[in-house]
């Protein structure tokens, strides 16, 4: 009986750990996909219009041009410790705005599917990003 419980516990641990990031280091190209999906979800924009234009100091920079008025919108994502948070470029003051901690979102990495998933606060849908 103890052996059976031990085997079950090991199986459950293996399943849970495969769904958890456990400190996964994302490549720049993976951070780009995650950031574009995250910003696209927040601002209801298709990820196809969002461009990754820079990766620097562990941060991921993306932007898009809004078709209705041709204005450019730029954002930076910080992806670390299984979380993502963003800030926006403020055109009027020509500097980066504050980190939007209220939108900080947990990331879950599934290594079997090589996929990251997240759910924005106040929303019911889960976004899945294949890496």
- Residue 48 pLDDT: 97
Do 68 and 76 touch, CB atoms closer than 8 A? no
Segment 34-87, tens digit of pLDDT? 999 999 999 999 999 999 999 999 999 999 999 999 999 999 999 998 999 999
Segment 77-125, tens digit of pLDDT? 999 989 999 999 999 999 999 999 999 999 999 999 999 999 999 999 9
Segment 13-36, tens digit of pLDDT? 444 444 444 578 999 999 999 999
Give, in order, the Cα–Cα distances in Å from 78 to each of 93, 112, 113. Answer: 21, 24, 23
CA nearest to 96, candidates 105, 86, 82? 86
Do 101 and 92 touch, CB atoms closer than 8 A? no
- Residue 2 pLDDT: 52
- Residue 23 pLDDT: 72
């Amino acid at each position: 009986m103890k052996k059976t419980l031990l085997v079950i516990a090991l199986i459950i641990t293996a399943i849970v750990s495969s769904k958890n990031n456990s400190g996964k280091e994302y490549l720049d190209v993976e951070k780009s996909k995650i950031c574009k999906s995250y910003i696209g979800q927040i601002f209801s924009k298709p990820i196809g219009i969002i461009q990754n234009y820079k990766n620097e100091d562990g941060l991921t920079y993306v932007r898009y041009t809004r078709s209705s008025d041709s204005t450019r919108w730029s954002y930076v994502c910080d992806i670390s410790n299984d979380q993502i948070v963003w800030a926006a470029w403020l055109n009027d003051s020509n500097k980066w705005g504050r980190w939007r901690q209220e939108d900080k979102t947990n990331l879950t990495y599934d290594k079997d599917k090589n996929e990251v998933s997240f759910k924005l606060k106040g929303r019911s849908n889960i976004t899945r990003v294949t890496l």
